[in-house]
């Protein structure tokens, strides 16, 4: 892995850089494509082997944040109340970072930011301009069903948010709505949701908002927290009535924008999972997941119909275990028990048109292939792969399956629903099934 660098520091090597943490895209293939700035070195993640179109250039499914060679953080300094466009131009010409709050045609409040040598700043958004470290685009867009995703409008902001990390222990990472553009400015126009706080400082929200959920006790005994909205200045608020509503929610007293291990960040089109450097050291690795796969295969589970030995392949292929989602009995792929009846329940398998009868217990329901979930960051433990998500068939540990099935993610303008963290398929109730393997006959 190359040493992480800051713009302008290409010739400055960094030895043993501090790793603040990683941001992992949940359900990447259905919702997002990621591009990473060449300024930050990243580790390559997998969506069960690769991204839909493969890992190409800056296209990644996760990215790591390292301490930069030189600090690039900023902090508020002077505040200017401007009454003419000329005044605004004079302030912006200084080349400093600033946030502009337009109150009316004739009045703008500009908060200047100065250099902060104690923090590093990383910016995330849809724009491919140089200030963005991690470019996130939602391939499904915000258009209607069946619309070409390449032309559908995106709901992710061009400069969606910024993460500011302390360069010294405990390396706290805080998230803020909005990012600075190429002119080093964040601009909140007349129609933007903004206000003056009791202490006098201005604040505001982005159009579709940046939502955050901080779990308690992740990953040992994880318990979901409440979804909140983060302001441009990093304060925490209850959710608006709708995602882009004009009125902010109530201030969440005592709550912080500091990210915890397992925090979720939703950008209205992509959901990011934050894992701290310390948390990643305790998390399962790809090598551990491979050992679990080999251990499961070594138990030689059998197909009750074909009496053949089942095995989870290291790469996706046709010969793999299948499961009846109603009962959890695991088989090889076969044509027994087909019923020509259209599936109306969306929780019974996307695109499925046939129901199958299990030859062991006679229960009727969807029959889908099983896929071992291979993104280690979403696991809450290193347990055996005994459960599968319904309806997609991704396999993981029991605690991991139950945690994500009970974790609703933002969906649309004001809805929430749990999804598979490996593919973003909407989960039913309870959203998982315990797998029942038949042992070898001999």
Distance CA 259, CA 330 (A): 39
Q: For residue 24, what is the enclosing H or E element?
A: strand 19-25
Does 167 lie in the same domain as 116?
yes
| Position 18 in a domain | no
Residue 41 lies inside a defined structural domain of this protein: no
If phi over 0 gives left and psi between -120 and 50 gives alpha, with beta otherwise, what is residue 4?
Answer: beta
Q: Quick one: 275 and 358 in the same domain?
A: no
Residue 141, pLDDT > 80, answer: no
Residues 6+ apart with CB under 8 A from 294: none
Domain stops at, among 262, 282, 302: 282
Residues 277 and 293 grouped into a single domain: no
The H-or-E segment that residue 162 falls in is strand 161-166
Extract the tokens encoding 46.
Answer: 């997998």
pLDDT score of 442: 52
pLDDT band, very low/low/confident/very high, at 414 (cuts 50, 70, 90) = confident
Q: What angle do CA 144, 148, 153 make, to 5 degrees?
A: 60
Report CA-CA distances (Å) from 116 to 76, 184, 289: 9, 15, 41
Coil vs helix vs strand at 30: helix
Report how many domains make up the chain.
2
d(CA 330, CA 1): 40
The tokens 């790591």 sit on which residue?
64
Give the pLDDT confidence score for residue 349 in this predicted structure. Answer: 42
262 and 319 together in one domain: no
90-99: average pLDDT: 77
Kindly report the length of the chain: 442
Residue 54 lies in a domain: no
Residues 399 and 306 in one domain: yes
pLDDT: which is higher, 439 or 60? 439
| Structure confidence at residue 154 (pLDDT) | 76
Cα–Cα dist 337/329, whole Å: 14
Rounded to whole angstroms, the Cα distance separating 33 from 28 reads 7
Short-list 371, 385, 387, 389, CA closest to 429:
389
CA distances from 414 to 306, 359, 375 (A): 47, 42, 28
Q: Looking at the structure, tell me whether residues 330 and 314 fall in a common domain.
A: yes
Quick check: 265 and 272 in contact, CB under 8 A? yes
Can you tell me the distance from the alpha carbon of 197 to that of 208, in angstroms, rounded to the nearest whole number? 21
pLDDT at 135: 82
212-222 average pLDDT score? 94
Domain co-membership, 203 together with 329: no
Looking at per-residue pLDDT, the higher value among 306 and 330 belongs to 330
In 178-267, the DSSP E strands lie at: 185-188, 194-196, 202-204, 210-213, 227-230, 236-237, 264-266
Q: Looking at the structure, do residues 383 and 253 belong to the same domain, yes or no? A: no
Inside any domain, residue 148: no
Decide if 308 is inside a domain: yes
The verdict on residue 253 lying in a domain is: yes
Res. 45 pLDDT band, cuts 50 70 90: very low
Same-domain status, 157 and 170: yes
Domain of residue 275: give its range: 62-139+153-282
Q: Are residues 224 and 75 in the same domain?
A: yes
Residue 346 lies in a domain: no
Model confidence band, residue 338 (pLDDT cutoffs 50, 70, 90) = confident
Domain identity same for 185 and 200 = yes
What global pTM score does this model have?
Answer: 0.86
If you average pLDDT over every residue of the chain, what do you get? 82
**304 in the same domain as 223:** no
Q: Does the pLDDT value for residue 43 go beyond 60?
A: no
Say how far apart CA 320 and CA 293 lie, in whole Å: 12
Q: Is residue 48 part of a domain?
A: no
């Amino acid at each position: 892995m190359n040493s992480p660098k800051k713009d302008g520091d290409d010739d400055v090597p960094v030895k043993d850089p501090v790793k603040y943490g990683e941001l992992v895209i949940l359900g990447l293939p259905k919702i997002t494509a990621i591009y990473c700035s060449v300024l930050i070195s990243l580790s390559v993640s997998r969506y069960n082997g690769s991204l839909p179109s493969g890992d190409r250039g800056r296209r990644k499914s996760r990215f790591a944040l390292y301490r930069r060679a030189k600090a690039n953080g900023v902090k508020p300094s002077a505040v200017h109340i401007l009454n003419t466009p000329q005044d605004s131009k004079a302030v912006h010409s200084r080349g400093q970072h600033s946030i502009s709050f337009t109150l009316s045609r004739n009045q703008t409040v500009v908060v200047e930011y100065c250099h902060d040598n104690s923090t590093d700043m990383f910016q995330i958004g849809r724009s491919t301009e140089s200030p963005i470290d991690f470019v996130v685009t939602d391939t499904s867009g915000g258009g209607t069903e069946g619309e070409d995703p390449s032309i559908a409008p995106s709901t992710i902001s061009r400069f969606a948010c910024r993460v500011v990390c302390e360069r010294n222990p405990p390396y706290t990472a805080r998230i803020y709505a909005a990012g600075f553009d190429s002119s080093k400015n964040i601009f909140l126009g007349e129609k933007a949701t903004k206000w003056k706080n009791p202490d006098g400082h201005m604040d505001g929200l982005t159009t579709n908002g940046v939502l955050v959920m901080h779990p308690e006790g992740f990953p040992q005994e994880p318990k979901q927290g409440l979804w909140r909205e983060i302001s441009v200045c990093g304060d925490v608020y209850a959710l608006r009535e709708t995602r882009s509503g004009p009125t902010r929610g109530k201030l969440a007293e005592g709550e912080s924008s500091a990210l915890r291990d397992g925090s979720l960040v939703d950008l209205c089109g992509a959901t990011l999972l934050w894992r701290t450097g310390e948390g990643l050291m305790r998390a399962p690795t790809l090598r551990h997941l491979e050992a679990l796969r080999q251990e499961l295969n070594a138990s030689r589970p059998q197909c009750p119909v074909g009496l053949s030995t089942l095995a989870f392949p290291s790469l996706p292929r046709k010969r793999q275990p299948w499961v009846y989602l109603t009962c959890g009995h695991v088989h090889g792929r076969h044509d027994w028990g087909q019923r020509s009846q259209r599936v109306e329940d969306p929780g019974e398998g996307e695109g499925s048109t046939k129901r199958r009868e299990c030859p062991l217990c006679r229960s009727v329901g969807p029959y889908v292939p099983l896929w071992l979930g291979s993104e280690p960051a979403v696991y809450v433990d290193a347990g055996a792969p005994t459960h599968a998500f319904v309806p997609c068939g991704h396999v993981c540990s029991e605690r991991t399956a139950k945690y994500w099935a009970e974790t609703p993610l933002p969906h649309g303008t004001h809805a929430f629903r749990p999804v598979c963290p490996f593919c973003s398929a909407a989960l039913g109730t309870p959203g998982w099934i315990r797998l029942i393997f038949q042992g070898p006959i001999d």
